[in-house]
Amino acid sequence: MNQINRKLKNLNQKPQPLTTDHRITILLKYSTRYPDKTTSRPLPDYADICLHMSCFIVAAPVVSYAGEPLEDLRRGVDKGIRILEDPRYEDASLKKNQQQKLWEVTQQIFDFREFSRRVLASHWKKFTPEQRNEFSQTFAEFLGKFYLGRVQNRYNGEKIFYVDQKLISKSRALVAIKVLWKNVEVPVELRMKKKHGTWKVYDLSALGVSAVSNYRAQFNWILQSETPDQLINTLKERIRHLESDV
């Protein structure tokens, strides 16, 4: 508990500015940070864990929301949990198979194209249709390989509590959950969009840090001096690096 409190205290420390040479390294080394291009400090580990585990850890919901956003989320989470807790995957040789199964579930839960569109913001219009497709697919692959490996290594039966949902419109909703991690409840908010009759997550935030805002700031910074193709190639290079580390 004292360690967590120290990490929370660190959030108030003045961030150190990034140099141009560091921008690619920082972007791809850390998955969650302040949505500010001048920040080189990663968020505390527990906030990072909440952001990439919140759609794979499950507990009994407070109330039932059959056929609504929260229920669609819970259905996907249940699938992920069964895969994470399947004793067959304790065999190290089957970890890649487990990650592939988790990736299939992740694609059912997340709308990566909507996430990518919002991350690029005004830059989305500057990408050709082919570049938009390639970026969305490559970015999704990067996120999957980066996060799912950490989920496999760190998942330890943590729980979430489904707190509430709020329908913003017929196709958009906010879902509030709390992640119980090391006896600390951390609130996480998920933004969901209904597409083809199914609700999917397109953004989530923990401790007030939005995943979309986080990556938007970083990609906006990079795209001020690099082309869409260069950004896509950088992501592909990082994917190859992640694969070589397995």
Domain of residue 201 covers: 42-240
Q: Is the pLDDT of residue 55 over 60?
A: no
pLDDT tens, position by position, 63-92: 444 458 998 888 888 888 899 999 999 999
Least confident of 49-53, 57-61, 70-74, 228-232: 57-61
What is the total count of domains within the chain?
1
Please give the structure tokens belonging to residue 157.
């039966």
Query: Per the domain annotation, does 4 fall within a domain?
Result: no
Query: Per the domain annotation, does 32 fall within a domain?
Result: no
pLDDT tens, position by position, 155-178: 888 787 888 999 999 999 999 988
The pLDDT, as a whole number, for residue 4 is 40
The rounded distance, in Å, linking the Cα atoms of 102 and 214 is 24
- Better-scored residue on pLDDT, 171 or 36: 171
Query: Per the domain annotation, does 17 fall within a domain?
Result: no
CA 123, 127, 132, 136 torsion-angle sign: negative
Q: Is the pLDDT of residue 242 over 80?
A: yes
Query: Per the domain annotation, does 26 fall within a domain?
Result: no
Q: Is the pLDDT of residue 23 over 70?
A: no
Helix, strand or coil, per DSSP, at residue 156: coil
- pLDDT band of residue 57 (cuts 50, 70, 90) is very low
* Helices then strands, each counted (H, E), the chain: 9, 5
- Starting at the earlier edge strand, list the strands of the sheet with 159-167: 159-167, 172-181, 184-195, 198-206, 209-210
pLDDT tens, position by position, 214-239: 999 999 999 999 999 999 999 999 99
Query: Per the domain annotation, does 92 fall within a domain?
Result: yes
How many residues does this entry show for the chain? 246
Give the distance between the most distant pair of CA atoms in the chain: 50
The CATH number linked to 93 is 3.10.450.710
